[in-house]
Structure 1
Amino acid sequence: MTNRFVLSGGPGGGKSALLAALAERGYPVVPESARAIIRSRLQSGLAPRPEPAAFAQAIFEQDTQHYQQLQTVDTPCFFDRSVVDALYMLHAAGAMDEAAVAQQSSAYPYNRTVFFLPPWQAIYQTDGERDQTFSEAQRVYANLKRWYLRWGYDVVDVPCCSVPERVAFVLHAIAQAAEQSGAD
């Protein structure tokens, strides 16, 4: 069982706050690639996003680099989105077919337990890097959830509650998964 855990879902669900809290507890974390790419493009005076296939490819490249950088980590580490999210974008943009997605999915495995944070109306805000409406965020959440299930992941919805409660929820779920894996 791999120790690479994914936080995914729609924009505005609190993934970044949860990731920061896990980092404060000493866990290795990887921030979302899309936000870094958008930030860099804006600083260079470019549009936030290139066309969808190019944007997805840039995210995929960054996500695979992050994955490889944490190959030797043997403690749980957390990714704000993953290669699987990038593969969804590439497939949706028509830049990668089903066979290539399957090949890449098996080359970059994550723990089968994936934590999904739904868009949360109470905390949802747009900013320079997040320009989706709340209803668009809900669509992204639903589509990604179906995508992860399609590729055999076990999706665990993280409840909308305080950050410390979310951290406790995630760490408890990881401990339970490890116990079940050890019992098998």
Structure 2
Amino acid sequence: MNCRFVVTGGPGGGKTTILEALQERGYQVVAETARRIIRDRVAAGLSPRPEPASFAQDILRSDIEKYQSTADREAPIFFDRGVLDALYMLDAADALTSAEIEQYVQAFPYNRVAFILPPWRDIYVSDSERDQSFEESVSVYEGMKAWYSRWGYEIVEVPHDHVDGRVSFILSCINTS
């Protein structure tokens, strides 16, 4: 069984908080790439984001490295977004053909269960690295849901709940998959 699980969705849905809670419970977690790129760019005196295709290419390269660095194992590994998220961005920028995207999807598979966090206005905040509006978060969420479905993933929506409840929900799903 593929034990690489993706947690995805729009910005500000609680992905990082949930992944931190999973890590506190002893699970291996792979951090999101986009925030690191934004921090590095700002520290270097650059604008937070390069143009979309370049940003997505940088994310894809890093996400592939992260994927490859996680050995096949029997214990779950949780990814804060994944290769497919970068491919979604590249598709939106018309930077890859459908055939190229399909090759990446096949080369870097995750568990067929993909966890998606719906937008949640009550917890949404913007910051120096999350500059999208709540409405943009909703749009990204809808796009990711369709994108992962397009590539054959079973989308499991993580309900709005306190952090422990959301983590317990995810863990109960992977124990039955």
Report the TM-score when normalising by structure 2: 0.98
2:166 aligned partner: 166
How many matched pairs? 177
RMSD over aligned CA atoms reads 0.7
1:53 positional shift: 0.5
1:147 aligned partner: 147
Partner SS, residue 176 of structure 1: coil
2:113 aligned partner: 113
Identity of aligned residues (%): 54
- Once the two structures are superposed, residues 90-144 of structure 1 have per-residue CA deviations (whole angstroms, 9 ceiling, x without a partner) of 1111111100000000000000000000121001000000000000100000011
2:47 aligned partner: 47
**Structure 1: runs of 5 or more not aligned:** 178-184
1:74 positional shift: 2.8
Q: How does 1:10-29 map to 2 (within 5 A)?
A: 10-29=10-29
Contact 2:5 2:78 in 1 (8 A): yes
**Structure 2: runs of 5 or more not aligned:** none
- Once the two structures are superposed, residues 28-85 of structure 1 have per-residue CA deviations (whole angstroms, 9 ceiling, x without a partner) of 1011100110011111110000000000000000000000010233310000000000
Contact 2:2 2:72 in 1 (8 A): no
CA–CA separation in structure 2 for the residues paired with 1:81 and 1:137: 14
Contact 2:3 2:72 in 1 (8 A): no
Report the TM-score when normalising by structure 1: 0.95
CA–CA separation in structure 2 for the residues paired with 1:85 and 1:12: 15
CA–CA separation in structure 2 for the residues paired with 1:151 and 1:44: 36
2:91 aligned partner: 91
The alignment status of 1:61 with 2:61, answered yes or no, reads: yes
1:136 aligned partner: 136
1:89 positional shift: 0.6
